[in-house]
A and B are shown apart, each in its own frame.
Chain A
Amino acid sequence: MNNALTLDGFYLPPPIKAQTFTNLKFGPIEIRMPILTATTLSDVVNHLLAAQERFLANQSTATLIDIVNTAVANWMKPNDPFRKMAEETLPPITGLSPAMIHLGLNRMLEGYRKDALLKVLAIEIGNIDRLDHFCPTSEPSYRWTRAIGPRITTSVLSGNIPALGAVELIATLLTKSAWLCKVSSEEPLFAPLFIQSLVQVEPRLAYCLAAVWWPGGNPKSPSLEEIAFGRSELVTATGTDEAVKSVHFATNEFGSVATRYIGYGHRVSLGLIGRESLDDLKSVAQRAAMDLAMYDQRGCLSPHVFYVETGGSFFPRQFAKSLAHELSRIEKVLPRGAVDTPTSARIHQIRSVAEIRQADGEEVIVFGSETGTLWTVIYEADPTFILSPLYRTVRVKPITDLARVFPLLDAWRPYLQSAGIAVPNSRLVSLAEGLARAGFNRITAVGRMQEPPPGWAQDGRHFIADRIRWVDLEMP
């Protein structure tokens, strides 16, 4: 990209137009954001409500799945204009490398196809027709049920992982809800792009979706938050604990007691390598390295620590060395993106502290990229769970038995997200049981940590079922 490019980081349902704008700068790209007035936002909500009643509420779930399926299929085409725009602009906006954006978009979206969505709905709702009309239950003569989505869902998005907004939007559409999305100032572009791609498939969706922005923090835009959260039937928020709490607070303040709220705050993940899986050291290290490298470790599914069991055919420190080697290989094909100054400084601190402990005779080994902070593996005997500064920085810790990890994670219980495990099937169930009780809500194989299937229980929530309201029809 040679010249400065100005793009819109918002989407307003026609005919609503914003009057004034502010620009956010991301290197060569400027993103135009509307400065919303309460009147404009109120208009937006009125239009969304009307369009939901007029159009969305009357579509069959099958039709909506087809629309999503077509849009996602388009995104998988290399020449799709929205895809091209995203691939061109997301690297400078997010700091992730172009190769990472390319892979990330594929991974994030490709699962949301018709078959997968039908399966998710079947699991969560049982009979998918319940989203369209009353259906008999197992006692048909007595009670029929119907699943109704919110009229409007407001989603506050975070900016750490691009394309997360697509998942939120797909869930919203499947509940026949209009969508008001507050984009993140860190990555305001993807949500409006995805909305436009859906509108291209089904033009009538143009009136059902909106992406806006206002300065965060509840005291700053009370009138906007009153409209957005007060008039939604479901509010969802992804982001830092602080941001998510602030949305929760505002939802309580401005919504009714019936307003639902789903918050996805800070989460941490880690990997557990059983001694048996060290037999194929290279394979397990490769898979662990991919879990770590994906999205430069910025997601809540990214591992902070790998605990490696002693007593296998290799020592845990050999796993650390092998992991470092794989990270250096990944760097060549999937380069680490840009890092801000405080994070670089933090990674250097962590590396040098580990080096000085190593020099002081502690059982610590540092493996790091020769230049800069591209990747860092710190092997240390101290088993304490420690947060990583991310951007491909990880600790490898030996442990005599994986079950000994549970007490180490006690303090982290509210934050535990995914555990990537590499153990033989004979140990799987008992380890999983322990992890579930420790607070994790997703247990998967090392190497698949960054590929949650559609409809996965993010933060312990159902993808669709937590968004809907059940209606009973009691037969006379």
Chain B
Amino acid sequence: MPVHPNIIYDEVLDFIRKPTESGFEPLALKVFAHQFVHNPSYGNYCRSRHKTPESVASWREIPAVPTDAFKEIDLACGPAERVFYTSGTSQGRVKRGKHSIPKLEIYRESALLNFSAHLLPDLPKLKILILAGSPALWPESSLSHMIDLVSREFGNEDVSWFMTEQGLDTDRLAASLSENCDRSSPVILLGVTLAFYRFLEYARSQKISFRLPPGSRIMDTGGFKGRKIQISNIELYRQYEDVFGIPETHVVNEYGMTEMCSQFYDNVLIEWMNGTSRPRHKRVPPWVRTLILEPDSLEELPPGTIGILRHYDLANCGSVLALQTEDVGRTKLDGFEITGRLAGSESRGCSLLVEDLFRSQ
């Protein structure tokens, strides 16, 4: 029996704030029933697959929508408070994905709780430096919105955005890093991997490096997404340490996509806090489930086998809960790791956006 959207949204908010292991499935099924009714395109798609709220008994059976579908159809369950777009490709031949968010509060709750759990397990606030475009510069980017939320919530003074219309303002970032080296309290650098890479190149050419205060950290996202840059994560993290003085234990990679309200973060900072050192992997927030599927049959794979990722995100209760990606990975410990290409290149595409900016310089 469908209920008023606000009731579902409140239930999801409550769950994100106070998740329980046993609570995921019933709520996922409720969200599915809600989306089946309020998202007619999705409802018809489920019907064509003979999956209805009556026939679906487990969250695993909820039909997943391919991330590419966001390029073709508006998959919102109601009027949108905000719309995010993927950035598309430089050839301009590919349509852009569009994710309409009927309830931004859920996005916010998921983003903030997850961010603080993985990047601020030890601190309430810190100084934030951003290597990405502000919402004014990238008004359609979900990443920009997310970083803006985070910086308003957790930034302890003026937040600095170093991406301009002309690209990364390397000189200003270098000056700011220099000032921040003398602080006693840690800082965090947030941004897209390509912008970090750009700064590493700049630092090398200028022969400069920084020793940021102990406890300083990095959150990077996006990787290189099929670009010609070939650098291993090990090498990238070594260069982060050389240039910023931030050790690998404090470099948290984020994996997310425009089509999904929740994000995934590396475990490393939590491990460091706990004095453990389990291998790097992405942690799945309690309001999300991730399955690894055999790429051809789409059957669920045994742990550790490489396949394609499918996410079930309760925070997506305003659009579609179940997302079929093209990202390749495998389960690892209590989460997963991405092993193949990040097909998210097209989904989020922020790195492409940054590179286009560099190109135009």
Contact = CB atoms under 8 A, between A and B. Distances in A.
A103 interface: no
A352 B295 contact: no
Given A352-B65, A352-B66, A358-B48, A341 B297 contact: no
A6 to B, nearest CB: 26
B298 interface: yes
A65 B328 CA distance: 50
B17 interface: no
B54 interface: no
B306 interface: yes
B296 A344 contact: yes
B73 interface: yes
B69 interface: yes
B15 to A, nearest CB: 27
B324 interface: yes
List the 4 closest A-B pairs by CB distance, nearest first. Answer: A344-B295, A359-B44, A359-B45, A345-B326
A444 B244 CA distance: 61
22 contacts: A341-B306, A341-B328, A341-B340, A342-B343, A344-B295, A349-B68, A350-B68, A352-B66, A352-B324, A353-B68, A353-B72, A355-B48, A356-B65, A357-B72, A357-B73, A359-B44, A359-B47, A359-B48, A360-B40, A360-B41, A371-B297, A372-B297
A349 B324 contact: yes
Interface in B309-348: 324-326, 328, 340-341, 343
Contact of B295 (A345, A355, A356): A345
Q: Looking at B67, B68, B307, B343, which has the most chain A CB atoms within 10 Å of its CB?
A: B68
Contacts of B296: 339, 344, 372-373
Interface string A320-362: 0000000000000000000101101110111011011111110
A411 interface: yes
B66 A349 contact: yes
A93 to B, nearest CB: 20
A342 B42 contact: no
Given A352-B65, A356-B69, A356-B73, A345 B41 contact: no
Given A342-B326, A355-B48, 6 more contacts: A344-B296, A348-B66, A350-B68, A356-B65, A356-B72, A357-B69
A341 B324 contact: no
Contacts of A371: 297
A47 B296 CA distance: 49
- Interface size class on chain B is 20 to 34
Nearest to A350: B68
Contacts of A353: 66, 68-69, 71-72
Contact of B45 (A339, A346, A356, A372): A356
Contacts of A350: 66, 68
Q: Looking at B44, B69, B296, B306, which has the most chain A CB atoms within 10 Å of its CB?
A: B296
B18 interface: no
Contacts of A359: 41, 44-45, 47-48
Nearest to A346: B326
Interface residues of A, number: 22
Q: Looking at B45, B68, B295, which has the most chain A CB atoms within 10 Å of its CB?
A: B295
B72 to A, nearest CB: 6
B91 to A, nearest CB: 9
Nearest to B327: A345
Contacts of A358: 48
A341 B326 CA distance: 9
B50 interface: no
A411 B94 CA distance: 13
Contacts of B93: 411
B100 to A, nearest CB: 15
Interface in B60-87: 64-69, 71-73
B328 A345 contact: yes
A31 to B, nearest CB: 23
Interface in A362-401: 371-373
Nearest to A364: B72
Contacts of A356: 41-42, 45, 65-66, 69, 72-73
Nearest to A382: B72
A74 to B, nearest CB: 38
Nearest to B320: A356
Contacts of A339: 295-296
Contacts of B326: 342, 345-346, 349
B12 interface: no
Contacts of B48: 355, 358-359
Contacts of A352: 64-66, 69, 324
Contacts of B343: 342, 345
A463 to B, nearest CB: 33
Contact of A348 (B45, B47, B298): B298
B308 interface: yes
A342 B65 contact: no
A348 B45 CA distance: 15
A358 B69 CA distance: 12
Contact of B67 (A349, A355, A361): A349
Interface in B120-144: none
Nearest to B42: A356
A358 B326 CA distance: 21
A382 to B, nearest CB: 10
A356 B297 CA distance: 19
A77 to B, nearest CB: 36
Contacts of B340: 341-342
A344 B308 contact: yes
Nearest to A384: B93
Contacts of A361: 44
Contacts of A348: 66, 295, 298, 308, 324
Q: Looking at A345, A352, A411, which has the most chain B CB atoms within 10 Å of its CB?
A: A345
B340 to A, nearest CB: 6
A310 B250 CA distance: 62
Nearest to A339: B296
B44 A341 contact: no
A373 B293 CA distance: 14
Contacts of B40: 360
A349 B340 CA distance: 16
A305 B343 CA distance: 24
B42 to A, nearest CB: 7
A374 to B, nearest CB: 9
A71 B64 CA distance: 54
Nearest to B44: A359
Contacts of B68: 349-350, 353
A264 to B, nearest CB: 21
Contacts of A360: 40-41, 44-45, 73
Given A359-B48, A360-B41, A342 B328 contact: yes
Contacts of B45: 355-356, 359-360
Contacts of B298: 348
Interface string A199-214: 0000000000000000
B308 A341 contact: yes
B339 to A, nearest CB: 9
